[in-house]
Amino acid sequence: MRYQWLLFDADGTLFDYDAAEMAAIAESFARHDLDYQPAVGDHYRAINHQFWQRFEQGEVALAELRVGRFQSLFAELGLTPDVETFANTYLTQLAAQSHLFVGAASLIQSLHGRYRLALITNGLADVQYPRLERSGLRPYFDAVIVSDEVGVGKPDPAIFDVAFAHMGHPAKETVLIIGDSLTSDMQGGVNYGIDTCWLNQAGKTANGLPLTYEIKQLADLEAIL
């Protein structure tokens, strides 16, 4: 068996983050008596994506991302709620969302016992841990690494150093990272010298990144292993 450890990303790989994000932003607007339209959610998604890209590039810290995305959103919408309070509401609502992609739970349950499983995620600890617990998947992972607790996120090698320490320093050739993001999961894996498996559900191009595997859906992972 070539791989001993499977290192999974969370959002966009196991969790349907788009669904969770839209549910959380809509509920947060409702709780603050703000008018919400689907276009607002789409606008927030674009702003949030930009902030996470800047985080991956080391341009903003998580504390800045946490409120900055809403400062930008409300400035463009001409709204003036208390941004800190709204950010707290949003994180509470997001933590309550545990939408898994179809087949994710059965795949993890199937792999458990045959491989050691770890989760490595860019995110906030007070959001990621409750979602993982609510999903029912927490018992299957031997290690969970959250960028908020490490101080850096993927693709920075430092978060992989922490992951490997939690995993007992396995040989790199025995570890496979599975994720949907080219810029964080796949670039991080390539930089760290471990095999990569890109979950490319949207049919994007790899832009020349040297990937080990590419799959269209989670169920395809079994054939690789």
- Indicate whether 106 and 61 sit together in one domain: no
Range of the domain at 167: 5-16+100-224
The band of 20, judged by pLDDT with boundaries at 50, 70 and 90, is very high
- Indicate whether 89 and 107 sit together in one domain: no
- Indicate whether 88 and 178 sit together in one domain: no
**What residues pair up with 11 in beta bridges, in sequence order?**
15
- Residue 65: closest CA among 42, 41, 101, 90: 90
- Indicate whether 160 and 62 sit together in one domain: no
Q: Find the mean pLDDT for residues 62-86.
A: 96
Q: Find the mean pLDDT for residues 63-92.
A: 96
3-state helix, strand, coil in the chain (%, to 5): 55, 15, 30
Q: Choose the final residue of a domain: 95, 122, 146.
A: 95
Q: In what order do the strands lie in the sheet with 5-8?
A: 143-146, 116-121, 5-8, 175-179, 195-199, 213-215
Q: Choose the final residue of a domain: 70, 95, 120.
A: 95
**What residues pair up with 100 in beta bridges, in sequence order?**
15
Q: Say what the pLDDT of residue 222 is.
A: 95
- Indicate whether 75 and 131 sit together in one domain: no
- Indicate whether 32 and 133 sit together in one domain: no
Q: Is the pLDDT of residue 1 over 90?
A: no
Q: Choose the final residue of a domain: 77, 95, 113.
A: 95
Model confidence over 88-124: pLDDT tens digits?
Answer: 999 999 999 999 999 999 999 999 999 999 999 999 9
- Indicate whether 76 and 148 sit together in one domain: no
Q: Which two tokens stand for residue 187?
A: 């670039």
180 catalytic, yes or no?
A: no
CA distances to 52, 152, 217 from 205, rounded to whole Å, are 20, 26, 15
Output the CA torsion 183→187→188→189 (10° steps). Answer: 140
Residue of 9, 16, 156, 195 marked catalytic: 9
- Indicate whether 205 and 164 sit together in one domain: yes
The residues near 69 (Cβ < 8 Å, ≥ 6 apart) are 44, 47, 48, 51
Q: Say what the pLDDT of residue 223 is.
A: 94
The band of 85, judged by pLDDT with boundaries at 50, 70 and 90, is very high
The band of 31, judged by pLDDT with boundaries at 50, 70 and 90, is very high
- Indicate whether 56 and 106 sit together in one domain: no
Distance of CA 163 to the CA centre of its chain: 15
The reported pTM is 0.92
CATH at 205? 3.40.50.1000
Q: Say what the pLDDT of residue 68 is.
A: 97
Q: Say what the pLDDT of residue 140 is.
A: 98
- Indicate whether 62 and 111 sit together in one domain: no
Model confidence over 125-171: pLDDT tens digits?
Answer: 999 999 999 999 999 999 999 999 999 999 999 999 999 999 999 99
Q: Say what the pLDDT of residue 109 is.
A: 98
- Indicate whether 172 and 195 sit together in one domain: yes
Phi, psi of 212 (to 5 degrees): -80, -45
- Indicate whether 37 and 83 sit together in one domain: yes
CATH at 68? 1.10.150.240
Q: Say what the pLDDT of residue 72 is.
A: 97
The number of domains in the chain is 2
Q: Say what the pLDDT of residue 214 is.
A: 97
